[in-house]
Amino acid sequence: MNELLPTLPAYAAAHLQLSLVALLAGVLVSVPLGVLASRHPRAARPLLAVASALQTVPSLALLAFMVPALAAIGAPSIGWLPAALGLFVYSLLPILHNTIAGMRTIDASILEAADGVGMTSAERLRRVELPLALPVILAGIRTAAVWTVGTATLATPVGARSLGHYIFGGLQTRNYSAILLGCAAAAALALLLDALVGLLELGARRRRRGPLVAGALGLLALALAAALPQLRGLVRDEVRPLVVGAKPFTEQYVLSRIVADHLERATGTPATTLESLGSTVVFDGLRSGEIDVYVDYVGTLRAVILGRTDVVDSREAALAEVREALAREGVTVAAALGFENTYVLALPRAQAESLGLTRIGDLARHAPQWTIGGDYELFHRPEWRAIEQAYDLRFAEERSMDPSLLYEATRTGEVQVIVAYSTDGRLDAYDLTTLADDRAALPPYDALVLAGPRLVADHPAALPALQALNGRIDAAQMRRMNAAVDRDGQPPAAVAAEFLAAMKN
């Protein structure tokens, strides 16, 4: 826990900033739309229908959709902007609904009296309708505030800094302290924001200035706290750090810290990591310059990024193909780390031995009665289709889950087989055996360090530094580093520091 606390203020401020901006945008859009709908009842139904439909979209899917949508118009496609837009959409419904409801609950006789004294429509809205509807509107804002703060924890996979960093990272590395810290901090922010908006609601309902002032000052203080890191950066004129991306599993956390620390030492430029990103999100960020460097795998690059569906038996040929294709995208292969992390089908050793299972093809007779587990991407990837076709496998059920839960699922019997990673230390920790890919259905998966165009152009010392990592990590060494995190509970940063110290010596 001690190593987590120093970073908490920065992540809490980023989380709060994201939530407040999305909530403010929701208020600025929903309240005028709600007033308009109260003036024109025919508009209320379609507006609420659209807002309700948007609310039914799974929050993570909505955030992820913002990435290609923004990329299509040339806007920054990862990080703060897609997360803020997704959260803004999620804040609309409760504010819009309560604005319409609040305006409709105003006594008609009061409105007639306002017209009778000669008020214009704008005066009546400002001096009569909004003050009377305000308690109901603020109740909707309270609901939206809690929803927004909670949903903001899901901004991590699209590259936005939030308290979800602790939750996603903790899930992958089985660091329950990190998960608890992220959940507790997000809950505390939600309760605080709810309480402050609640003071505004209380003051509006009882016509008391004290709660209104207290709530407004509290929200202003929160906004200043959220903006403080940016203000401090402007005052200090801080250098933009190098950004090292990472996908959402242990090996990537370790490698991203190795690369970041190595770059920082070699170039003298601060480096930071941006973790738990999807395959396409991190690559798009690299190509656009929002991410400077990250580690990817030949098989993933061929299948997901380059759209190849064929299998290349030769690792050298696959690497050459990827290197040439990436160069056309402005991406440089800075180093091949020296190990291959391919997909493997694994199951408990005792079960495999009792059934005589040694090859993937041996699963064919059991698959119709068994459940197989894989990560979020697997069953939508060309590699899985290649396995199905090569071995004629049809499982009773395919279950996607967080990679950190796959191994435990084999122990509890939730799944009989999993598609794991060949360098994962948990294969040994859970006493799992892997099945031979005797028909070569899976492509090579050599780990590559990719450098983006901004890094190559702006930091000439970075590329030679990355090239120094070429061939420095073999599969056994990577498996030991992964096990140190997953089995022994060491922080990825500590494992990375130990590796770099050994490399220096």
Q: Which residues of 64-81 are buried (b: 16+ CB within 10 A; e: fewer)?
A: bbbbeebbeeeebbbbbb
- One digit per residue, the tens of pLDDT, for the chain of length 505 reads 566 787 888 889 999 999 999 999 999 999 999 999 988 888 888 999 999 988 888 887 787 788 778 877 877 777 888 899 999 998 999 999 999 999 988 888 888 888 888 888 888 888 898 899 999 999 999 999 999 999 999 888 888 889 988 888 887 777 788 889 999 999 999 999 999 999 999 999 988 989 999 999 999 999 998 888 766 655 555 678 899 999 988 899 999 999 999 999 988 889 999 888 888 888 988 988 889 999 999 988 988 778 777 777 678 888 889 999 999 988 999 999 999 998 899 999 999 999 999 999 999 999 999 999 998 878 888 888 889 989 999 999 999 988 778 888 999 999 999 999 899 888 988 899 999 998 888 888 999 999 999 998 888 889 999 999 999 999 999 999 999 998 888 999 999 999 999 887 6
Within 217-276, strands assigned E span 242-245, 271-274
- From the DSSP assignment, how many helices (H) and strands (E) are in the chain? 22, 10
The enclosing H or E element of 25 equals: helix 8-39
Contact criterion met (CB below 8 Å) for 13 and 229: yes
Amino acid (one-letter) located at 357 = L
User: How many C-beta atoms lie closer than 10 Å to residue 353's C-beta?
Assistant: 11
Q: Look at residue 27 in the predicted model and tell me its pLDDT.
A: 96
Spatial strand order of the sheet with 446-451 comes to 271-274, 242-245, 293-297, 446-451, 332-340
Domains of the chain: 5-236 (1.10.3720.10), 242-341+444-504 (3.40.190.10), 343-434 (3.40.190.120)
Q: Look at residue 373 in the predicted model and tell me its pLDDT.
A: 94
Token output for 88: 């803004």
Q: Look at residue 370 in the predicted model and tell me its pLDDT.
A: 95
The pTM assigned to this predicted structure is 0.80
Q: Which distant-in-sequence residues (6+ apart) come within 8 Å of 215 by Cβ?
A: 196, 197, 198, 199, 200, 202, 203
* Nearest of 332, 327, 407, 394 to residue 363 by alpha carbon: 394
Residue 388, exposed/middle/buried by CB under 10 A (0-12, 13-18, 19+)?
middle
Q: Look at residue 363 in the predicted model and tell me its pLDDT.
A: 94
Q: Look at residue 310 in the predicted model and tell me its pLDDT.
A: 73
